[in-house]
Amino acid sequence: DKVGIVSEVHFLRVVMENIPPLKDKHLLIKDVRFERVKVRIYQSKTSNTSQRRGVLYFHGGVGWLGSIRAYERTCRYLARKSNSVVVSVGYRLAPEHPFPAQFEDCVTATIHFLRTAQDHGVDPSRVVICGDSSGGTLTAAVAQALVNRRDVPKLRAQILIYPFLQCVDFNLPSYQQNEKVPILLKERTLVLGLKYMNKDLSILPELFKGRHVPEDLRLKYQKWVSPDYIPQEFKTRGYKPSPTYPPSEELYAYTKAIFDPVFSPLLAEDSVVAEVPETFLVTCEFDVLRDDGLLYKKRLEDHGIKVTWCHLQEGFHGTVFSATLGGAIAFKSGIKGLEKVV
């Protein structure tokens, strides 16, 4: 099984690394390091005396896929269309660098950029962090990690593009409705997440039953993670309440790292969620992670955080990334999502 996982990781990395970059005469592009972290900076060649907005981009890929190169088209598009200085963060990947190395690199890069923004022609009060899929998870986690920092400027906003946000309930309406919808099938979501956390895949059936959640945590988390908080309009494609199974202390002990808000930002305490910046959220109808986004939207709004929500009615997981690749896979929903982000 380990050999199969390594082979799959290698194959997918090769595919993503060979997405050809677009030529762009309008952008100045340079590779530097923010402390130990590799980054690529995209900015317009047009001279501009006023300080611009800065965008740090954390790519998707479940912590073990994706790269600066794979997301070059996405970041070029954002830099061109938004007239921002875009910093693509090349955080270290699992399994070579286990969780939470990815989060640590994103925090390091963000703090460095906030402190040196003016050196890059960026107004420190206009720095935004952004990410898609697991990059959206990293974005939410970094925003939470910085709420109590007084030694750096506050983030202007966070942009969450169909993020994974919780590991408590894998039977929410969106998980049931989109169980077999590509590219992120229900089982595939957990397989990828368990690989990222270096956990044995044999526990999968028990996770689907929710047996990894002890009773005390179940009571705590149901304030934030419950199908009751999903609007009725999102249950019309089908939803069946799941039976409750007895929790397993052994399973909880083995998996408890996944309850860390760095991995599951929806589980952060109220005192943290109440302080995160203004949020732009993208969800897709045909995505198992849709309801993670809806639940976080509710939590943020309950704390008075301004949320601008873009729901792609025809969208699926990965649609925004595919939009930048062009051709047949540049679905209308993805193009709409990209335009909304800009």
| All structural domains of the chain with their residue ranges | 2-341
Q: Is 90 exceeded by the pLDDT of residue 204?
A: yes
* The predicted structure's pLDDT at residue 329: 44
C-alpha to C-alpha distances, 268 to 69, 100, 168, 286, nearest whole angstrom: 32, 16, 13, 26
* The predicted structure's pLDDT at residue 10: 58
Global pTM value: 0.91
Q: State which amino acid sits at residue 43.
A: Q
pLDDT (mean) for 39-47:
88
Helix boundaries (H) for the chain: 2-17, 72-82, 101-116, 134-145, 173-177, 186-196, 204-208, 215-221, 249-255, 270-273, 290-302, 319-323, 332-341
Name, of 2-11, 64-73, 299-308, the range with top average pLDDT.
Answer: 299-308
* The predicted structure's pLDDT at residue 13: 58
pLDDT (mean) for 301-318:
95
**Percent of the chain clearing pLDDT 90 (strictly above):** 79
* The predicted structure's pLDDT at residue 328: 45
Instruction: At 176, list the tokens.
Output: 């049931």
* The predicted structure's pLDDT at residue 320: 81
CATH architecture of 2-341: 3-Layer(aba) Sandwich (3.40)
pLDDT (mean) for 271-297:
98
Query: Mind listing the pLDDT tens digit for each residue in 139-198?
Result: 999 999 999 999 999 999 999 999 999 999 999 999 999 999 988 899 999 999 999 999
* The predicted structure's pLDDT at residue 6: 54
Q: How confident is the model at residue 330 (pLDDT cuts 50, 70, 90)?
A: very low
Q: Is 60 exceeded by the pLDDT of residue 21?
A: no
pLDDT (mean) for 315-341:
64
* The predicted structure's pLDDT at residue 11: 57
Comparing 4-8, 66-70, 110-114, 225-229, which segment has the lowest mean pLDDT?
Answer: 4-8
**Percent of the chain clearing pLDDT 70 (strictly above):** 87
pLDDT (mean) for 211-231:
98
Q: Is there a contact between 101 and 91 (Cβ–Cβ < 8 Å)? A: yes
**Parallel/antiparallel/unpaired status of strands 52-58 and 157-161:** unpaired
pLDDT (mean) for 114-142:
97
Name the DSSP letter for residue 20: P
pLDDT (mean) for 52-74:
95
pLDDT (mean) for 270-279:
98
Q: Is 60 exceeded by the pLDDT of residue 121?
A: yes
Tell me how crowded residue 249 is: count the other CB atoms within 10 A of its CB.
10
Q: Name the residues annotated as catalytic.
A: 133, 287, 317
Q: What is the DSSP string of 80-129?
A: HHHT-EEEEEE---TTTS-TTHHHHHHHHHHHHHHHHGGGGTEEEEEEEE
* The predicted structure's pLDDT at residue 237: 96
Q: How confident is the model at residue 334 (pLDDT cuts 50, 70, 90)?
A: very low
* The predicted structure's pLDDT at residue 70: 92
Q: Is 50 exceeded by the pLDDT of residue 123?
A: yes
pLDDT (mean) for 282-307:
98
Between CA 111 and CA 210 the distance in angstroms is: 36
Q: How confident is the model at residue 222 (pLDDT cuts 50, 70, 90)?
A: very high
pLDDT (mean) for 112-138:
97
Between CA 194 and CA 57 the distance in angstroms is: 24
C-alpha to C-alpha distances, 150 to 129, 147, 277, nearest whole angstrom: 18, 8, 14
Give the relative orientation of helices 332-341 and 72-82 as an angle to the nearest 10 degrees. Answer: 50
What mean pLDDT value characterizes the chain?
90
